[in-house]
Structure 1
């Protein structure tokens, strides 16, 4: 279903929240207009995005490799990531709708942001200390440097913390994006979106920097215990710093993001002598909200789903790929293989750091590109770039394993040229990733602002089209790779195919607008 003729703007839409007018919030109530916000205050209001992304970067770069040291197999690690999609399907739409209708004196979004951040801090502490907790619950009493078997108590504690972390992340993400939509005001959607993406990029840079260092156990030697050796202590140190950084970002956002409380239905005009209709509450209200999605939203959901089918295999296995196929390590092998794997993981985290730097600079170029050629062309082009990159990833793996005879871990160590090419590939993917983080949300926010539906609800529904592909990949990637030698190459090859299909589908499904229409709406802030 193409939404032809819908006027779109890249960025977080300025209407629909506390800074919008009338009913744009989609909750049906009266919202007072905020005072014009300064650019500096708008920047500080989005700081929580950097704190959340710091922990998310650590989660992406370190946790898939780390959990394999506790006993989970490579195939089972993909199932562990099911918690994110489930949380996204359940939490984000509900939180989005409820934040649209929240009547707290603190505003619509900030209560949910505060709650989610407190839960994130608790979850990362549980993850960081999972090995120590497992030791206390009855795992092996052997020194961790000597024992390479399974530690199931630690693995269970870790997975529980991992699930809580994903639920908490989903509690914060939707309201944080909607908050920037509410406050963007006269600065326009492009500015608000660039600020939000820049904070995400900064969080990624700091998170991946923390993940790529091997010195946390040296700086804080007390982190090492009988159950927690160097790799575990490094993970623990990085996550404790994440708690401090997120707390700082949260305080800044709560202080500077001054929201006007939502008044509910009380101020809505009604038919003659009829009482105002009470708003629906509860989970059924989310389902009813689906009926009010703006025109053009179904096509955005379809293309978003295909786009994420192409991205999630890389997001899931990027550092594991570096440890296995490029550095030829094994998290359950002998000491040399474990060290090679850890070196690959750190190199992958450094590659993600480069990726985030490119993402940060690219985020400022997205709106000008969309004004010149339109958001549909930008989005479709990014899918074709991912198609080429994922195919290149598989080819690099074959290059690295060209002398492979037997298991991945017996292949000869890759040369420096292969490692350099991998880092270049990581950096290159920062461009389409910036588009992925920006354009779908921008299109959704603008549809909500111009066609109704509620910023929070529409963002939550968009997240469903992100998490459903994650369920598909989480369920299928592990067994799929198991069929082809327990490596990551098959998943990356499949990702290339999904990117190609997503690009072709985008040509026909995404809303088509003229450059003149786009410039006029974007410059006007989408109102």
Structure 2
């Protein structure tokens, strides 16, 4: 009888093992469908990728095996935030950590707000026409389209004891501060140089033209400097944050972006009343200090991944040709989900360019037509932009809290599954909110056909703040989540000898920025031609038509979202 029970027990144990094996095979089959196109050469590589994510309860994971845990191959693949506790990519970092990681975007937004709210009035004040101004602002999109991809590729392969991204952040800050201060002193220094040295040799008209040339030069240097700063900050957020917290990091980045805009416009409104024609110069000094101070916590306190510091890559890695080939390869291997995000971004930013660069001037033109006064003409435009920034910041704080919690989800959560609560949030809720932002922006831009006073224009700009908050948060959150998942899936492919040579975070974020920058080039050229056709001087009506053109582009973007989803 004891023998019979022993045989029955052995049979039950065998059945349990068979059931566990079948469950594990089923889980692996489901997970394989969610793994990105990794170009794996064998079934073993797929199994290794699956094991590098989160294993089912009770299953052994190679990363927790004593033999593999001591292997340099696996240590080099784990980000620094995971090395602290030797935990998986599902380790959660604190809110304080996220704040320190993303606070640099506050200073970056100060720079953009300086250009958006005061750039066009400043250029008009030194003698540029509005059609020429539109072409000058194309320098930023040109830099983002043709410079940032190479900066991102170099950053992916850069080896330094200071990290992969921080040297680029520091270099970008240095160049930005130099160019901002150059613009600040240009008007004063040009006048002094003319009085002291050139009055007997050239006329004031020639000196004014020379000053304009230097202003264009400083703007170009500023736009070039912002490329390594942008790609460094965005890539560092992805590198130093766990995959499941990318949406939180993007939300904090959006909040600091909103706060940066509010701070700049509040200060701008105060300075206009006190200094009037010296507002731009004072604001440049404050912006430079803010850019330095807000990026210090990120530079000094955030620890970067150290896997690539063990070895020095071949110098051929930095050849321009190899970088170009790398970018082409990254573009070809880009997952369909990332291509979808970039395509929608392209059409969306065709519409955002006219609004961002000309909405303050548009509101000011409405004010001038209404009051027939030229006293502080940019004040009403800056006040409207301040309300826009406040609405945008409020939405950036409130909307991310719509994220569902794991406790409210009735579905089981499988590693790599896109149908868990987080997957539903990223794949369903966020795209729907993004679609809503496109429609809302289009309605606001087309409403300029009936807006005739400052109050109506200010209300329209305030409503656009909702769309701006969603545009700043959702595409970046979707992109960051996709790149982080791709990074985690690929992490076990790379050995210590290879370092992080195949890290494509910077390259993918640069291509994401190309989808933002390239349409602005086209939009800038179209705006310049529109201003030239409608009178050259750039009347309020021509500004209105530029905004309406942006609304049409936003409608196209919304339809593109629906078509691509199908």
TM-score, L = length of structure 1: 0.76
- Aligned-residue offset at 1:30: 4.3
User: Unaligned regions of 5+ residues in structure 1, if any?
Assistant: 9-20, 23-28, 219-229, 268-275, 331-335, 401-417, 513-527
- Aligned-residue offset at 1:161: 1.4
Cα deviation 1:420-439 (Å, max 9, x = unaligned): 33222222112211221122
- Aligned-residue offset at 1:217: 5.0
Measured in 2, the distance between the counterparts of 1:7 and 1:53 equals 35
* CA distance 1:38–1:377, change in 2 (3 Å): closer
Partner of 2:389: 353
Measured in 2, the distance between the counterparts of 1:69 and 1:6 equals 56
The 8 Å contact of residues 139 and 154 in structure 1, kept in 2 or not, is answered as no
* CA distance 1:359–1:71, change in 2 (3 Å): farther
Rg (Cα) greater in structure: 2
Q: Secondary structure at the match of 2:110?
A: helix
Measured in 1, the distance between the counterparts of 2:402 and 2:328 equals 29
* CA distance 1:380–1:279, change in 2 (3 Å): farther
* CA distance 1:155–1:329, change in 2 (3 Å): farther
The 8 Å contact of residues 99 and 456 in structure 1, kept in 2 or not, is answered as yes
Cα deviation 1:160-192 (Å, max 9, x = unaligned): 111211111222112101111122238712221
Q: Does the alignment pair 1:301 with 2:346?
A: no
Measured in 1, the distance between the counterparts of 2:392 and 2:267 equals 13
Q: Does the alignment pair 1:438 with 2:483?
A: no
Q: Does the alignment pair 1:288 with 2:326?
A: yes
Decide which of 431, 441, 454 is 1:386's aligned counterpart: 441
Partner of 1:472: 522
- Aligned-residue offset at 1:342: 2.8
The 5 A counterparts of 1:481-496 are 481-485=531-535, 486=538, 487-496=542-551
Cα deviation 1:64-96 (Å, max 9, x = unaligned): 111111110011110011110111012221222
Q: Secondary structure at the match of 1:176?
A: helix
Partner of 2:286: 241
- Aligned-residue offset at 1:358: 3.5
Partner of 1:410: none
Once structures 1 and 2 are overlaid, which stretch shifts more, 453-462 or 496-505? Answer: 453-462
Partner of 1:423: 458
- Aligned-residue offset at 1:257: 1.1
Q: Does the alignment pair 1:459 with 2:509?
A: yes
Partner of 1:323: 364
Q: Secondary structure at the match of 1:328?
A: helix
Cα deviation 1:137-162 (Å, max 9, x = unaligned): 438999xxxx9999323222222111
Measured in 2, the distance between the counterparts of 1:207 and 1:150 equals 31
Measured in 2, the distance between the counterparts of 1:125 and 1:506 equals 42
Partner of 1:516: none
The total of aligned residue pairs comes to 442
Measured in 2, the distance between the counterparts of 1:496 and 1:93 equals 28
- Aligned-residue offset at 1:451: 3.6
- Aligned-residue offset at 1:446: 2.6
* CA distance 1:448–1:30, change in 2 (3 Å): same
Cα deviation 1:281-337 (Å, max 9, x = unaligned): 33332443332342213222221100001111101101111121343399xxxxx75
Measured in 2, the distance between the counterparts of 1:489 and 1:133 equals 36
- Aligned-residue offset at 1:376: 2.3
The 8 Å contact of residues 47 and 199 in structure 1, kept in 2 or not, is answered as yes
Cα deviation 1:19-45 (Å, max 9, x = unaligned): xx99xxxxxx74554326433133112
Partner of 2:212: 155
Partner of 1:273: none
Q: Does the alignment pair 1:77 with 2:133?
A: yes
Q: Does the alignment pair 1:44 with 2:97?
A: no
Measured in 1, the distance between the counterparts of 2:427 and 2:308 equals 40
Q: Secondary structure at the match of 1:327?
A: helix
Measured in 1, the distance between the counterparts of 2:431 and 2:34 equals 12
- Aligned-residue offset at 1:211: 2.1
Q: Secondary structure at the match of 1:259?
A: coil
Q: Does the alignment pair 1:55 with 2:104?
A: no
Once structures 1 and 2 are overlaid, which stretch shifts more, 476-485 or 45-54? Answer: 476-485
User: Unaligned regions of 5+ residues in structure 2, if any?
Assistant: 1-32, 37-62, 69-75, 86-92, 405-423, 488-502
Partner of 1:253: 298
Decide which of 174, 184, 203 is 2:260's aligned counterpart: 203
* CA distance 1:363–1:92, change in 2 (3 Å): farther
- Aligned-residue offset at 1:373: 4.1
